[in-house]
Amino acid sequence: MPHQKPKIVIIGAGFAGLRAVKNLARIDAEILLIDRNNYHTFIPLLYQVATAFIPPKTVAYPLHKYLHSAANTRFFQAEVLAIDFERKFVTSDRENIIYDYLVIATGSKTKFLGVDGAPKYTYPLRTLNDAVALRDRILGNLERAVTCTDYERRQQLLTFTIVGGGATGVELAGALSELIPTSLVDNYPQLDRAEVKIILIHSRTRLLADFPERLGDYTGKQLRRRGVTIYFSTRVRSVTPEAIELDDGTIVKTATIIWTAGVEANLPADSEQLSTASTLSHIAPRREQVCVRSTLQLLDYPEVYAVGDVAYVEQDGKPLLGIAPEALQQGTAVAGNLKRQLRGLPPKSFNYFNKGTAAIIARNAGVAYLFGKIPLKGWFAWLLWLGIHLYYLPGLSNRLIVFKSWLRDYFTQERNIRQIDSKSTKIPFYF
Ligand SMILES: Cc1cc2nc3c(=O)[nH]c(=O)nc-3n(C[C@H](O)[C@H](O)[C@H](O)COP(=O)(O)OP(=O)(O)OC[C@H]3O[C@@H](n4cnc5c(N)ncnc54)[C@H](O)[C@@H]3O)c2cc1C
């Protein structure tokens, strides 16, 4: 009888899923990688796509190219809809797939926190499509503002509002403060720079809650110096196509609202199905992630793992933050545990080695918190952020294009991505 290889199915070709594939490339098993896209999205640079810094293709790495070095792995492009943990199969929009071992690495998605109008009238930033839609909105606003003779309408078009003062909100605010008043408005002499407003709305008392307080304070100062207006301790009550209503009743007229405030696990099945699966009913209250054992296995199904943003993992009694290095290390750990399981050995507990976190604010300004101990700010932290992201960006040609774009922007402040793809418009202009 021919030897039947074990079948490992990995859902999600993000940081965790791809790292697992790489570490399983030499084992004697049949591996199937499933993703809705046939490319890996380098999410940390999406904000640069959205602000016309770098071209979209540089953050989308083709999976088939990646899998050249993994002969035991096939790629299947499909949307996973449900998982039957008892009968061990995955239902997708194309076909059902049976597994012996399963890795759920489907990441996270935007959470709109129940704010009325937010899902419909705001721009999230999690996918490449989100980034292109946002870029087109920003460029489209400027095009419209040039020909808009009504003062109030023009101000609305030139008011860019970001909800959420975490790393993504800060990075976007900083990038917009450089993009709009400088490089773009310079190209539209009809516009007055003073009319451009960038507003950051944050529910807490300081930015970047995951960093030490003084780094959060520094970030606030840097953004204000660049003309960003920050509303602290402020929540959004509702959103309409033309404005945002704050919890104190203030109405901010704005044609672009970017939502970075909430995040939740991106579970590859609807919650009704999940609540019937006993394993996945253990959802952590904070981020609705999947609870796992210390080995990253699901509580009731030892042949199923959840890794990356989708999983709720604690280290030293605190939940992990939901950043790429955590997902990468979990991808390595899950591959190690699968190898052990295949050899009949018990899986090992996952331990995260915290190399640190970093956020970029704007040119020459960044913050970093190395090894959870060493705070850094300013030029060196900015350079560190750029170096790390360039190193991890997949594909040599992507790295070269991105590096060239950064150099051009640094020395000339010139951003030459100007095309607007009308099909990507998420929210129509209402005026
Ligand atoms: C705007 C932004 C900026 C960020 N910046 C940084 C940063 O600078 N540094 C940092 O360390 N972290 C950053 N993060 C966090 C980091 O991107 C995540 O922690 C990381 O991507 C998690 O990796 P993952 O593998 O769990 O999920 P992802 O990388 O999100 O991958 C999930 C994959 O699953 C696929 N998928 C999901 N559902 C399905 C389904 N039902 N069927 C088929 N396929 C599916 C998706 O297409 C995707 O390819 C940022 C996040 C955002 C949103």
Q: Say which CATH topology domain 7-36+78-109+264-342 has.
A: FAD/NAD(P)-binding domain (3.50.50)
* Paired tokens of 20: 């697992």
Q: What are phi and psi of 45, to 5 degrees?
A: -100, 10
Q: Are 103 and 117 in contact (CB under 8 A)?
A: no
Q: Residue 271: is its pLDDT beyond 60?
A: no
CATH number for the domain running over 118-261+356-424: 3.50.50.100
- pLDDT band at residue 411 using 50, 70 and 90 as cut-offs: confident
Ligand 1: does its nearest atom lie under 6 Å from the Cβ of 83? Answer: no
Q: Between 181 and 109, whose confidence is greater?
A: 109
Residue 318: the pLDDT is 86
Q: Which of 23, 43, 367 to mutate to test the pocket of ligand 1 (most atoms within 8 A of CB)?
A: 43
Can you tell me the mean pLDDT for 145-153? Answer: 91
118-261+356-424 matches 7-36+78-109+264-342 in CATH topology: yes
Q: Mean pLDDT over all residues of the chain?
A: 90
Q: Which of 289, 323, 352 to mutate to test the pocket of ligand 1 (most atoms within 8 A of CB)?
A: 323
Q: Are 260 and 172 in contact (CB under 8 A)?
A: yes
The pTM (predicted TM-score) of the whole model is 0.94
- pLDDT band at residue 11 using 50, 70 and 90 as cut-offs: very high
Tell me what percent of the residues of the chain surpass a pLDDT of 90.
Answer: 76
What size, in residues, is the chain?
Answer: 431
Q: What are phi and psi of 331, to 5 degrees?
A: -60, -40
Residue spans per domain, the chain: 7-36+78-109+264-342, 118-261+356-424
Tell me the per-residue pLDDT of 171-209, one tens digit each, with 9 for 90 and over: 999 999 988 877 666 678 888 888 899 999 999 999 999
Residue 427: the pLDDT is 66
Ligand 1: does its nearest atom lie under 6 Å from the Cβ of 264? Answer: no
Tell me what percent of the residues of the chain surpass a pLDDT of 70.
Answer: 90
Ligand 1: does its nearest atom lie under 6 Å from the Cβ of 9? Answer: no
Q: Where are the alpha helices (DSSP H) in 123-270?
A: 128-147, 151-157, 167-178, 213-225
Q: Are 163 and 236 in contact (CB under 8 A)?
A: yes
Q: Which residues of 258-296 are buried (b: 16+ CB within 10 A; e: fewer)?
A: bbbbbbbbbbbbeeebbeebebbeebeeebbbbbbbebb
Q: Are 338 and 73 in contact (CB under 8 A)?
A: no
Ligand 1: does its nearest atom lie under 6 Å from the Cβ of 17? Answer: yes
- Spacing of C-alpha 226 from chain mean position: 24
* Of 387, 358, 386, residue with least CA distance to 372: 358
> What's the maximum distance between 2 C-alpha atoms anywhere in the chain?
79
Strands 159-163 and 256-259: parallel
- pLDDT band at residue 67 using 50, 70 and 90 as cut-offs: very high
- pLDDT band at residue 430 using 50, 70 and 90 as cut-offs: low
